[in-house]
Each structure stands twice: as structure tokens, then as C-alpha cells.
Structure 1
Amino acid sequence: MQQEAGIRLSDSVKDIPNLVQALFRNVERRPEKTALAYKAGGGWREISYRELGERVERFAAGMAALGVERGDRMALMSANRPEWAISDYAIQSLGAATVPIYPTLEPHQIEHILEDSEARAVIVENEELLRRVREVQEDFPVVVMDDAFTGENEKTLRFESVYRSGEERPKEDWREVWGGIGRDEVATILYTSGTTGAPKGVILTHDNILSNIEGIVEAVPLRPEDVFLSLLPLSHIFERTAGQFVALTLGCSIYYAESIEKVPENLREVRPTVVPSVPRLYEKMYDRVQQRLSQGPALRRKLAAAAIAAGREKYRLRLRGREPGAWLRFKLGLFERLVFNKIREATGGRLRFFVSGGAKLEAEIGEFFYAAGVPILEGYGLTETSPVISCNRLGREKFGTVGLPLFNVEVRIGEHGEIQTRGPHVMRGYFNLPEETEAAFTEDGWFKTGDIGEIDDEGYLKITDRLKNLIVLSTGKNVAPQPIETKLVTMPHISQAVLLGDGRKYVSALIVPDYEAVRNRLATDAAPAELAEDERVRELIQKDIDTACAEFADYERPKKFALLAREFSQEEGELTPTLKVKMRVVQERYAGQIERLYAGS
């Protein structure tokens, strides 16, 4: 485990009473080091720990002058930017709780969270988000981050105005206030985005999150020198814990990606050492690499295939506790110069590892990046568990699993194969929902995750599916869609896949082709809508389905499929912020296509 001044990092976290103290320890130890950075005017602007601490203090004083105090709730709705972290820590420093709201939510969803959480006010990024709030809450207090905003009034303040107010009127007892916040106090209430049902407010304490940080730094070799690229929404607990709280507790630097589209460019500019993300990013990277290799000269394709095969051979030897022989070591050294270093250069050249969470990572993708010297550490957890329950360890990865439980986390397999967990990482409960809170736990106090899984003989946890996701065919057969969908999206011409069939005779699928790959294969510039009706495309997709599903039982394989002309998206309400498919929305939107798949059956 990495050391800092002779102390294990996990042990040093145990002494911290709250998340604000965790930040200010580094304000004192590393005042001039870069804490946050963002892109502006064509370059990266950096904020030191000292400056971050000053901004948090001034904004907190400004909010205190507006009446925010211990026990309040403050909503926060913005894309990732420095003001997000400043607001989050400032809110908590007053003994209040941060209530994140995804900036992609619709007005009625925003209204539900503001009312249900009993938020005192909401901090929003820009006028567009202000407009959404005002559609449902005309007089609700709002603070707007964007410097360009000019419509300030009694109920709508500029972030800068609140900040300047705190600068002019410091809160004299501020350090005493946050110094007195205990681990058992509420740090945040997060509303589960969910693929079904109304969002519920998950109450997490400072101890929940700090205990999770302890477990993470015991399992993963993080160090203060690490540079994080932040690209998942901070509104989600995965990025908030793994990409913000862990980084700023250990004294690392965080660079905010400009957008998902700009990630490839930002990777090369920032040259991060750690990047937390969801499997969708790695699937797209994998597809692009495979596509470029398929278009290259025959010799290059053979060389790349041989290099990946050698890397996978090394991984499989390691699983059996064996080291590569002389011939394999020679090949790996050769491929390192000719193939692997080019893949790593695309990530900036100094990436130590990716972190994957939020959904299942296909083992094939994990093995591919391992072979290229870009390891992916897949983990597992939920909002209710702060979030990490388990994760793979660097050098001990077992792809197809979500690794070993954290040292301070208990895991067991309960009734119906459900994964259950117990420990300091588990939420206090759902806000104002005592019955739902009680239903989330077993009689003996274990949290019910709702996921189906198993623990292998080495203690590694494997996720099979969600209990609610199981497809029960009219024949009585049960189908777990997640492993099949995950396998399908690794195919060269498939971008997204959703399995259907609950209550039906057979499984079918909605497929979004990878239209760029399809165009290249068919040497055409046709639009997606036209390609979705092209029989040649159907033949390509059918071959991909046959290949992907060869390992599954006959009743698990899609018998029919429909091609969609565009990808599922958050903007259309079909994906959660962590890119999980909202089945109810998709089934309603594509009801016609689905019924045609079962016509006459």
C-alpha cells in the first residue's frame, strides 16, 4: 500500500471527522498544488488547494449570510466544473446537506426533488437550468453560477454576488462550525435516477462516504501525485466519491473534461493517471480501435491480433499463478514497441488505470485493455452503499467479476441469489420514507441490493443481473438479459442492444447498429434511417448476434430483432445519467416495433 509520511493512507483517513476536514488537511499541507482545473479560452486554468479553500470559505460565508445553517438542505444542479466542488464543500461546511440534481432532468422531476428534499434553495449552472426551475417554482430561491447571467433579483442571485458577500462579511466561527461536524451527520441526500419508479432520496452521512474512501484506498494504489480526469456527472455518487472525495482527500489533482465528445482530446492534453468511467466509454474506445485495425493493411492487422493474443496469454497465465516464459516475454517486449505504446499514447501516455462502474464490463474488453497495458479496475456498488461494495485490485484483476469486497464491507448471497451487504458504507435510509427504508433491509440488518450474483472460490464477486430485470418467458424459462446485452455490444457492428420478451414465447432485441462501422463495411454514405431498412445491414447484425450468443442457451438467444435509426440518449429520456437503459421509456417509445417482433407468435 502506498505510504504518505510513513502512514498508510487508509489509516490516515480514519482520523478525519468529516469531508470538509479531509479537504482542508490538503489546503494546509499542499497549498500551492493544483486541486482543480478546467478548460477556458483554449487552455487549462488551474486552481490550487489554497485558492480552493479560500473560495469554499467565502462562498460558505455568503450562504450563511442568506440564512443557510446546520440541518438545511441545499440543491445543486450543474455540469462538472469548479463551482460544483466549491458549492458542495461550502454547503457541508455549514452543517447542511447537498442535494445533487442531474442537469438533464425535466422540470417536473426537478420539482419533485426540490419539494421532497425540502431544499432551502438551489444552485444552478446557467439560465437554461434556471428556466426549468422557474417553470415549476416561480419564487424558489436560486443562485446562478454563470458569469454571463444578468437577471439578478430578490429570488435569483448570481454566484459571484453570494461569493463577494462572503468575502466582505466573513463568518467568524466558520472553522469551528465545520470542525464540530461529526461523522454521523448527514453529508448529502442523493435521488436515485432509477430505471423504474419514482426517485427516492438516499441519505448518506460523512461516515458512510469516509468509510468508503478508507476501503477504496486500501484496495487501490492511489497516491497524492495522481491526476484524475473527471467526466461522469458529479450528481452521481460514483463520480462524487471516486472522482471528487477520494481525489481531494488524498491531495490529488482533478481536471474536468470539457464534454464526453472531447474526452479523447482531453486525455491527450491532461495525460491523467486515473480515470473513473462507465463501461460505455471503454466499449466505444474498444470499437474504434478494432475498427481502425480492421481497415489497416493485412500485416498490421496480423501484428495487432498477435499482440493482443500475447497480452491475453499473459493474463491467463497470471490467473493460474504462472509467469510468462522466455518466448512470451520476448514477444511482449516486441509488441510493446510496435503496438501497445500507441494504444497508451491515445490515453495520454501515463495512465496507470481506468476505473469502471455503473454497469457490467464485458470480460473481453477488460482483457483487451489489459493486454495493451491499460488496466481497467471494475468495481460494483449502489447509491445506497456510498457507492463501492467491491472492486478488482491492480495486478489481481479477474475480468468477468467485480472483484473482492472492500476490507470494511461484508457481502453475502441471500435468497434468490440476491447480493446483500452490511457495513459502515450502507445508507442511513431513504429520506422521509420509513417503510421503503425498512423494506430495503433483511430482518437481520443486511441491505438488499436487488442484484443477483455469486461469489467464487477465491472470494471474487460476480454480478449476473438485476432481480427486476429477469425476463420470464411464457414457457417458464428465466433469461438474465445483462450478460447477453453486454456481449452483443462488443460485436463490430452493434452499438447498443436491449433484450425483450417478458411474458412472451421467445427473446427478441432492439438493436442500434454502429453506423460508422456499417458504412465502412458496406462502403456507403447512407443515413442511419436508410441503413436501418437495408437488408445487408440486417445480415451483418444477424451474424454478430449469432457470434455473440453462441455460448448462450437456445431460449436465451434473440429470435427476432428490430434496428433503430438512432442511439438511446439521456436527452430523449431513454438513459439514466450513468447510461443505463430506462426500460419503461424504451418499451413505450418503441411499442410498435416491439409488437411487430411478436406478431403472430
Structure 2
Amino acid sequence: MAFVDFANVYEMTRTTVEKYPELEAYRTIVTPDHSESVTWRQFLAAVRRVGKSLMALGVGHGDKISIVSYTCYKWVLTDVGAESVGAVTVGIYHSNLAEDVRYIVDHSDSVLVFVQDLEQLAKLLEVRSRLPKVRKVVLFQGEHEDEWVLSYEQFLALGDGISEAAQEERIRAVGPADVAAIVYTSGTTGVPKGAVLTHDNITWTAQSVQHCTVMHPGEVQLLFLPLAHIFARTCTFTALLTATTTVFARSLDTVAEDFKLARPHWFIAVPRIYEKVHAKVLAGAEAKGGLALKIFRWAVAVGHERGEVLLAKKPVPLGLRLRYALATKLVFSKIQAALGGRVKWCISGAAPLDPAIGRFFHAAGILILEGIGMTENTSFTNVNRPDNYRFGWVGPAGPGIEQRIAADGEIQFRGRNVMREYYKMSEETREAFTADGWLRSGDLGEIDAEGFLRVTGRKKDLIITSGGKNIAPTAIEGVLATSKYINQVCVIGDRRPYLVALVTLDTENVTAWAKEQGISFESFAELQQHPRVQALIEAEVAERNAKFASFETVKKVAIVDEFTIANELVTPTLKLKRGPIAERYAQVIEALYAGA
């Protein structure tokens, strides 16, 4: 494909605005009955106003600004506005603790910080004395009486005295090799590293993504993943390129309702979201029981039969088409309606998706395209295509992206999507690349004759048992997590004689099961330690162990409290922090190996 060599993100944005000025660009769901929208023309005007206000505050070419906020319109507006005048955006998770926020703001040399609300502002005020480089903090929502703090309205008013000519001069000075963003890895180990991404990284990657997935002007994406993570950010840049309408969910708690309000054509999510929807659908069918459950199972079987025909790229026979139409009417239409009723496809990334989950949604008429990327390559290297996909594989590389498997099995990449460096971390930058300039992914995998990539595990997560067997735990964890009673799984076994697992429970389904069984309990904490619950989970694990070789089976299980962002046992994208988990539950793990 032919790539357009945009000078910068602003030029890419302005090109879209010139083509589709009155199309809806962004929509914010305020309440179920009220949304606020802006057109592409209005967005560009707002971007220019943000740029002028940054200039008025003395933000220069290459200066950094941080954003500590949930995903929202002002996040994107501030991001593009900053990049338009050559400033560099640094995203910070709104779930981060004050000390984590301080580290990134300070390490990135940010001179301004934008925060969601007073709750996020409190984190900055707590560490204010240790942020000497920060000139001002700007609130997206609310006001605070302090000369250090501006409301967003006060901030926007500052730019009124900046001339159009002065702003255009700043915009023209921004080139493709200039830095647009520093994206800090959420990190399962060690301190966060800031991947330095250029304007060319961003505009080029957006085009590669568009070639693979094909988004059309005016189509709708629902966005609810954090913009501090590059996965969601790249989707917003691709929307800038394609004139896709982005609808912002109110929060993760309202996503189910927001799907029906937004009615997206496509969306992105991490595997945990798909797993939860899958578990909820199964639990609902089983709760109905009787004829309804039989119809559900029949429909899923028909869906799988049709799915295999589609995967083989063969025409669906008339009889199967008729049966599938009935299955859709009776069962699948309800699942599709829950997602708004017009989803063409959705993307799963940031962690491995269990193939069984992908096949289930495919059976239901919802195509999940699994892909892969890293912060260090602008979140994108591979994705399955709407017309060429497999489950358990992350698809071919995007146009212009090279992939290879090293001698030790590591997947490595090269392309214009790859970062320049880690900010102020020269040693870590050297370690990230091979001697001949390829980016190390840290993933293990294989590439077939058609260029499809399959990820088999993480190099650093690889378990080597005391018997010398090499085991990738993520695949096992994904299969065990298909149980409707299991929420999360962390498999342990490095240098041990066998595998064990720490399991957290699905509160809703386990509670419902306990009530059906007549088990009395005062609290969920009490219930999760009940012998019958332990037996239930052991039975669920034993059933799924049948899918593995003997050395891959989980021999013992311990039920523990949920791994959360708050207790620092998962990252903001819900990846397990294996080291902290093993440390937190060291005694529990030792008990599982007692007598081994």
C-alpha cells in the first residue's frame, strides 16, 4: 500500500477535517438521555484553541505535558492540541497512586499537568513540593482556589491573545521526526519506561491499522480503555485518519448500558472484558435451565458448525444458513443487541485471548480480531483481518512491518512504527534492540508460511519445572479462566515439581451457586474459604486439565482475594504482576508444595 507522509499529527487531522467537516467526530455520553457531540470542524477549532493556550503558558517545542485522567473528550483534545504546537504528551493512568504519578511527571520533565477532577488533583497537591518543574495544573472538571491550578475554561481563555500567524509558525515547525508522545509502560516488573514516539510513528501506524481493518467515515467506535495505554491511543489516532466517530463511555461501570446507547460498529477491548461477557452469557443460559438451556446449546453448536465453514472459506450450505438464522433469532440476536446491534468486528489486544472465547463469539455472529503490539511499536504489528482470520493466532503483520523469529524463539519486529528510544534510559534502550536494529518483543512464537503469527508465551514468564519441562503459563490460565466460577488465574511452577494455581472467584456466579446449594455464609470472604467452594473450583480445574499434557496440568489450587490495580497485583490493562503475586502469597504457595 502507499503511505501518505504526513508532516505531523495536526496535518493528518486537518486533512480529515477538510474532507468531512460536518461529520460527527466525538460524542460524550453524559446520561442515558443526553450526549454531547462535536463535528470535525468544531474539533479542529478547539485543537487550535488548546494550542494557543499552551503557547500562552510558555510551553515550547519539545516541552512535555502530562494528562492524568479517565478516557474522555478533553483527553484527546488536549493531546492533539499539544502535539499541534510541538509539545509532547505524557499519559498517566488515573488509577495510579500519588507517588506513581509524581515519578512519571518528574521523570518526563513535564511542565504542565492536566487532571480529570479534584480527586486526581489531590494526588498532585500531595507531592507538589517534589514537582519543581510543574508550572501549572489544569482541571478538566471543577475548580480549585490556588494560583497553581487552573480550570479548563481559564486555561482556554489564556490563548485569546495569541495570533493565528504565530500559531501557524509553530505548527509548520513540527516535523515527522519530532517527538509527539512519551508513553510509559505500565510494567509488570520494575519502574515504568517511557517509550518515545514520533509524529511519523503515529501517523504511519494509523495508516497501517486502517489498511488491515478498514474503517469508514462516520462509523462509530466505543472507547472505554485508558488513553494512557497506547492501545486505546492508537485507535484514537486511527479515528483521526479515517473520520470515525469516537463515543466515550461514561465509565467501566456503565459500559454495558453505553454499548446500547452508542451502537458501535467496532470497538477494542482486552481479553478480560470478552471473558466476562462470555461467563455472563453462559451463566444466564444455565440459570434458565430446561428447554431454554437446550436451545442455547443447540444454537451454539450450529454457530460453531457455521464458523468452521467460514474459517475454511467455503460457502455456507443452505440448510446450515437456515438453521443459523433460527439460532440467531432465538439466541444470538440478544447477545448482538447487548453490544448495540451493529458490531462488524472488534479487536482484542494487550494480552492473549483464549481461542475458545474467540470461537464462541464467532459462533454468535461477533468477530473478534486478535492482534498484537507493544508500547514500543505504537501498539501495532499484527492483526487478523475481517476477511482472513484464525483463532489462537494474532494475524499477519501490517503493511510495512517486518517480523522474524530469533534463534531462541523470540518474536522481533522492524518498521516505522518502532519507537526512537526509552526516555532518559540509554541502557534499557540498548537492551530493547538487537545488534542489527530489530525490536525485541519479549514474546515467544512462530510464523507460518502465510505470515500468520502465533504467540506461545512470554520469555520472562516461561516456567521451567524441576523436571526440565518448558511451560508458557498464559495459555493454561486462559483455559482455566473459561470457568464461569473463576475470575483470574496465576499459574506457579518455576523450578517446582508440578504446577499449582492461585485462583480468584467470580463473585456473582459463585454466590448464586452457593445459594442454590443451600450454603449459608455471612460474607463472600467467608464463602470463598468454604470446603465446598474449594471442591467446586478443583472440579472446574480438573475438567479443564484434560486439554493439557500431563506436565501442563495444574495439580493443586488455592483460592485467594482478587488481583486488582488497587492492591498492585495487576497492571492498568489487567496483566498479572507475577512477581508481586508470588511474593504476596508466598506462604500459600509453599503450602501447596508441602510434601512434594
TM-score tier by shorter-chain length is: over 0.9
CA distance in 1, matches of 2:172, 2:295: 59
Q: Deviations over 1:202-239 (max 9, x none)?
A: 01111112221111111112111210111000000000
| Residues in 2 aligned to 1:53 and 1:464: alpha-carbon distance in whole angstroms | 43
1:171 CA drift (Å): 4.9
The answer to whether the aligner puts 1:82 opposite 2:73 as a matched pair is: yes
Q: Does 1:575 align with 2:570?
A: yes
In the other structure, the counterpart of 1:294 is 286
SS at match of 1:99: strand
| Residue of structure 2 in register with 1:7 after alignment | none
Q: Which residue in 2 is equivalent to 1:192?
A: 185
* Cα distance in 1 between the residues matched to 2:385 and 2:585: 41
Equivalent position of 1:562 in the other structure = 558
Residues 138 and 155 in structure 2, CA contact (< 8 A), matched pair in contact too = no
Equivalent residues in 2 for 1:586-601 (5 A)?
586-601=581-596
Give the equivalent residue in structure 2 for 1:414: 406
Paired residue for 1:182? Answer: 175
Corresponding position: 1:30 with 2:11:
no
The alpha carbon displacement at 1:449 in A equals: 0.3
1:136 is matched with 127
Does 2:315 match 1:323?
yes
- Give the superposition deviation at 1:15: 4.2
152, 158, 165: which is aligned to 2:146? 152
Q: 1:73 aligns with which of 64, 67, 73?
A: 64
Which whole-Å CA distance do the structure 2 matches of 1:69 and 1:171 have between them?
16
Inter-CA distance 316–458: structure 2 relative to 1 (3 Å threshold) = farther
C-alpha separation in 1, matches of 2:200 and 2:141: 35
3-state SS of paired residue (1:330):
helix
Residue number in structure 2 paired with 1:221:
214
Match of 1:313 in 2: 305
Indicate the residue corresponding to 2:333 in structure 1: 341
- Of 547, 550, 563, 1:551 maps to 547
Which residue, 109, 118, 126 being the options, matches 1:118?
Answer: 109
2:30 corresponds in structure 1 to: 40
Q: CA deviation at 1:395?
A: 2.8
Name the residue aligned to 2:90: 99
Task: Decide whether aligned partners of structure 1 residues 395 and 314 sit closer, same or farther in structure 2, where only a CA change above 3 A counts.
Answer: farther
Classify the secondary structure of the residue corresponding to 2:388. coil
State yes or no: 1:506 paired with 2:498: yes
TM-score by length of 2: 0.95
Structure 1 residue 469: Cα displacement: 0.3
SS in structure 1 at match of 2:427: helix
1:451 aligns with 443
The gaps in structure 2 that reach 5 residues or longer are none
Find out whether 1:211 has 2:204 as its counterpart. Answer: yes
Tell me the amino acid that sits aligned with residue 77 of structure 1. V
1:381-420 residue CA offsets vs partner (Å, 9 max, x unmatched)? 1000111110001132200111111121111111221000
* Worse overlay, 355-364 or 313-322: 313-322
TM-score normalised by the chain length of structure 1: 0.94
Q: Is the CA contact (8 Å cut-off) linking 1:147 and 1:160 kept in structure 2?
A: no
CA deviations on 1:150-200 (whole Å, 9 max, x unpaired) are: 3230x2222211101113544532133223422111110111111001111
Cα distance per residue 1:541-569 (max 9 Å; x no partner): 112111222121222222111112x4211
CA offset at residue 31 of structure 1? 2.5
Tell me, yes or no, if the aligned pair for 2:118 and 2:142 is still in contact at 8 Å: no
What's the secondary structure of 1:355's corresponding residue? strand
Q: Do the aligned residues in 2 keep the contact of 1:570 with 1:579 (CA within 8 Å)?
A: yes
Question: Structure 1 residues 550-559 or 591-600, which shifts more?
Answer: 591-600
- Preserved CA contact (<8 Å) 2:194 2:422: yes
Q: Is the 8 A contact 1:422 1:447 kept in 2?
A: yes
Residue 291 to residue 481, structure 1, CA distance change in 2 (3 Å): same
Native 8 Å contact 2:142 2:151 kept in 1 = no
2:557 partner letter: F
Structure 1 residues without counterparts, runs of 5 or longer: 1-9
State the 1:118 CA deviation: 1.5
Correspondence for 2:229: 236
Map 1:262-277; keep pairs closer than 5 Å.
262-277=254-269
Aligned structure 1 segments of 4 or more residues deviating by more than 4 angstroms? none
SS of the residue corresponding to residue 110 of structure 2 reads: coil
Q: Which amino acid aligns with 1:17?
A: A
Q: Does 321-330 or 92-101 show the bigger shift? A: 321-330
Contact 2:53 2:156 in 1 (8 A): yes
Greater CA drift, 486-495 or 524-533? 524-533
1:355-434 map, 5 Å? 355-434=347-426
Letter in 2 for 1:316: E
Residues 124 and 142, structure 1, Cα contact 8 Å, conserved in 2: no
- Alpha-carbon distance change, 598 to 141 in structure 1, aligned in 2, over 3 angstroms: farther
**Following TM superposition, by how much is the alpha carbon of 1:599 offset from its aligned partner in structure 2, in angstroms?**
2.6
SS at match of 2:113: strand
Identity across matched positions, percent: 37
Distance 1:584 1:34 in 2: 45
1:487 paired residue number:
479
Instruction: Measure, in 2, the Cα distance between the counterparts of 1:489 and 1:283.
Output: 8
Query: Which whole-Å CA distance do the structure 2 matches of 1:434 and 1:146 have between them?
Result: 35
SS of alignment partner, residue 420 of structure 1: strand
